[in-house]
Amino acid sequence: MKSFIFTLFTFSCTFSFAQLGNTMYGLARTTNPPGVYIATMNPVTGIATNIGQASVSSSINLTGAALNPYTNQFCFFGDNGLKSIDLTTGLITSTATINNPNGTGYFDLFRINTSDSLIYGLSRRNITNAQTGQVTGAMYLATINETTGTITEISPTSIGQSFALSGSAIDPHQMVFYYSNGSQLVGLDMYTGGIFSNPTLTFPNGGQNFDNFTYSCTDTTMYGLVRSNYYTPVYNPVTGMTTQVFDSAAVHLGKVNAMTGEVTKISTQSIGVSSFSVNGSSTIDPVNLIYYFISGTSSGGLSIYGVSLITGLVVSQGTISNAGALYFDMMRIQTDCYESYPTRFNPGSANLVESNVGLIKTFPNPFNTELSIESEENMQSYQLFSANGMKLSSGILSGTNAKLNTETLSEGIYYLNIQTINAKTTHKLIK
């Protein structure tokens, strides 16, 4: 039985982050005069610093934003179309008008997928029945070319008609795009555009809504804000009716099981805000494990809150300030899911069968110092990835049995891809 030893160089991930930086970028917005500037944000102090002196737009559309860490570009919809901004100079590199070959429409909830550097979102348009004249809404998973504005729809048929302003998220490992229609968390297969999962959101330990969700590549978990609404009964003596009037709301940091829809609160107590900026105005610091979002203050201003992914407690609160800016929107941290890698293969590619059970067994799981692999057919190669999608090791395998020395691996989540003669398999492993 042949043994393969994995050696984990723990500095490799840290080195990549250090080279890239862990900067938060976003859009600093003024109202008088109206202007939009690409800016960096110190989330602890709330101070936004403009990059460049010129406004890049007079308005923004909160339909999404994409920060490409490989091209150093930030994309959003402004006054004249889809704008790409250089993160070094703060200047516009291109402005594109939407071009959908299938008809006039919109492109919403878009984000960058760091595992293939493409911008994914929802192509939304109206379809008219030629016989009845009836107009119905339709949505498709799609990509957009930020330079030309050309939309390429992936879904062969419509996957829905509407979405909630809860944000969107991309799992670059499983290659799934997530959005919410209000009651369900819908996952779309980024290879085929079809429905990957669509569980109903449930709140076993309280809550009514799950908003501003985003995916963390560090621990392969989707985080967001759990909102609980409270109402006060008000009696109307004229009508003799009692109605429920919105009184207040409590907000907790939470996470969701994307396959079951079960939402769990992480915070044991309310974060201390009753409102927040909508439509995915959130980001995750993968180095310090902090979730950031924007909320109003009692004085009428805005603050950026940092909440620990571990405890759910507020670790920082900075009042947003800038030379003339009143708002900070669509924030993104450039190391979030940086250098991620797909661990679920395209099932339609090269006639390969993908399976996590039956063909190959890996045990024990959780593992400690050794991992055993048993295959029904001869193995050819392996690739080992960390939870954030970074490739740690790869090599040649042979035969139907192997033992891997995993003593040097630190505790955490790993993905092991194994290629056999006729198939590829992906195994999620825990140490």
Name the pTM for this structure.
0.78
pLDDT of residue 231: 57
What DSSP assignment string belongs to 299-349?
TS-EEEEEEETTT--EEEEEE-B-SS--EEEEEEETTTTTT----S--TTS
Please indicate, yes or no, if residue 66 is contained in any of the structural domains. yes
Q: Of residues 264 and 63, which shows the higher confidence score?
A: 264
Say whether both 317 and 213 belong to one domain. Answer: yes
Distances from the Cα of 108 to the Cα of 202, 235, 421, angstroms: 25, 42, 41
Retrieve residue 154's tokens.
Answer: 């992936």
In the predicted model, is pLDDT for residue 213 greater than 90? Answer: yes
In the predicted model, is pLDDT for residue 247 greater than 70? Answer: no
pLDDT digits (tens, 9 = 90+) for 394-425: 778 888 998 888 888 888 778 888 888 777 77
pLDDT of residue 230: 61
In the predicted model, is pLDDT for residue 280 greater than 80? Answer: no
Retrieve residue 13's tokens.
Answer: 């991930």
Alpha carbons 330 and 294: distance in angstroms, whole number? 10
Q: Of residues 326 and 98, which shows the higher confidence score?
A: 98
Please indicate, yes or no, if residue 15 is contained in any of the structural domains. no
pLDDT of residue 390: 64
Please indicate, yes or no, if residue 400 is contained in any of the structural domains. yes
Whole domain around residue 362: which residue ranges? 2-9+343-430
Domain closes at, from 333, 353, 373: 333
Say whether both 402 and 278 belong to one domain. Answer: no
Say whether both 384 and 319 belong to one domain. Answer: no
Please indicate, yes or no, if residue 93 is contained in any of the structural domains. yes
Average pLDDT over residues 144-168: 94
Q: Of residues 171 and 231, which shows the higher confidence score?
A: 171
Domain closes at, from 310, 333, 356: 333
pLDDT digits (tens, 9 = 90+) for 105-151: 999 999 999 988 999 999 999 877 778 777 788 999 999 999 999 99
Average pLDDT over residues 45-54: 92
Domain closes at, from 333, 357, 378: 333
pLDDT of residue 21: 66
Say whether both 270 and 375 belong to one domain. Answer: no
Tell me the average pLDDT of the chain. Answer: 85
Instruction: Give the domain CATH number at 393.
Output: 2.60.40.3080
Instruction: Give the domain CATH number at 27.
Output: 2.120.10.30
pLDDT digits (tens, 9 = 90+) for 283-292: 999 989 999 9
Say whether both 419 and 318 belong to one domain. Answer: no
Please indicate, yes or no, if residue 14 is contained in any of the structural domains. no
Alpha carbons 61 and 330: distance in angstroms, whole number? 10
Alpha carbons 67 and 55: distance in angstroms, whole number? 18
Please indicate, yes or no, if residue 338 is contained in any of the structural domains. no
pLDDT of residue 22: 85
pLDDT of residue 11: 27
Average pLDDT over residues 209-225: 93
3-class SS of residue 13:
helix
Say whether both 253 and 155 belong to one domain. Answer: yes
Retrieve residue 373's tokens.
Answer: 């692999």
For residue 275, what pLDDT band results from cuts at 50, 70 and 90? confident
Say whether both 314 and 378 belong to one domain. Answer: no
pLDDT of residue 41: 94
Count the domains in the chain.
2
pLDDT digits (tens, 9 = 90+) for 170-200: 999 899 999 999 999 999 999 999 999 999 9
pLDDT of residue 184: 96
Distance between the two ends of the chain, CA-based, in angstroms?
23
Please indicate, yes or no, if residue 59 is contained in any of the structural domains. yes
For residue 16, what pLDDT band results from cuts at 50, 70 and 90? very low
Alpha carbons 373 and 404: distance in angstroms, whole number? 8
Other Cβ atoms less than 10 A from the Cβ of 161: the count is 12
Percent of the chain with pLDDT over 70: 87
Say whether both 312 and 381 belong to one domain. Answer: no
Say whether both 384 and 241 belong to one domain. Answer: no
Other Cβ atoms less than 10 A from the Cβ of 30: the count is 17
Say whether both 302 and 215 belong to one domain. Answer: yes
* Residue linked to tokens 């923004």: 60
Say whether both 320 and 400 belong to one domain. Answer: no
pLDDT of residue 5: 30
Give 300's Cβ-side CA count (13 Å radius): 0
pLDDT digits (tens, 9 = 90+) for 324-368: 767 899 999 988 888 787 877 776 654 444 444 457 888 888 888
Say whether both 259 and 237 belong to one domain. Answer: yes
Please indicate, yes or no, if residue 17 is contained in any of the structural domains. no
Retrieve residue 3's tokens.
Answer: 């043994």
